[in-house]
Amino acid sequence: MSAVEINLEKKVILVTGASGGIGSKIVERSLSSGAWVVAFDLKDLAIEHGNLLPINGDVTNESDVKRCVDSALDKFGRIDVLVNNAGIVGKGRVEETSLGDWMKVLNTNLTGAFLFSKHTIPSLKESHGNIVNVSSTNGLTGGSHLSGAAYSCSKAAIIALTKNLARDLAADGVRVNCLAPGPV
């Protein structure tokens, strides 16, 4: 069985968490479908392509986020799709979780999506683009101590952020959707 082919010819897609399992596949499929891809991650990407603009940075650092968005706009002139995919998993029960671990997961998973949405919205309004937020089934079920409370809370908050953005941006022609994959 083959995947559905989508023509993304000359669409500019910004993907956060681009070097991870889901992120790297989004980057590869977007490139093979003709897109120009801005790939943002802390780590270097393992792929090279003429339509790829890799940018290293931290989704929790607003200066890094602004630098990424500015670089994308300088290179391609617009952003058509933002994929808020960056995320980390926590662990342990609530009483075992330090405040530092809690904040690291929430900042990466939720604040990163907030910052990238905030700084790409002006361009997305111009292109009548899309935001795709990656949540998790844990955001729907509450998860367990295996991935931790911070993870499930952050992924539930991504669903709420998606609903908020979808309502706020609908009149501007920007679609906002959320994916909630299970274990990958």
Residues recognised as catalytic: 151
- What distance in Å separates the CA atoms of residue 1 and residue 93, rounded to the nearest whole number? 40
Bridge-based pairing of strands 175-179 and 12-16 is: unpaired
* 159 touches 178 (CB < 8 A): yes
Q: How many CB atoms lie within 10 A of CB 69?
A: 23
Q: Which helix (H) or strand (E) holds 166?
A: helix 149-169
The CB density around residue 139, as the number of other CB atoms within 10 Å, is 21
In this structure, the dihedral spanned by the alpha carbons of residues 177, 82, 34 and 51, taken in order and rounded to 10 degrees, is -160
Q: Is there a contact between 31 and 13 (Cβ–Cβ < 8 Å)?
A: no
- 99 vs 65: CA distance, rounded Å: 24
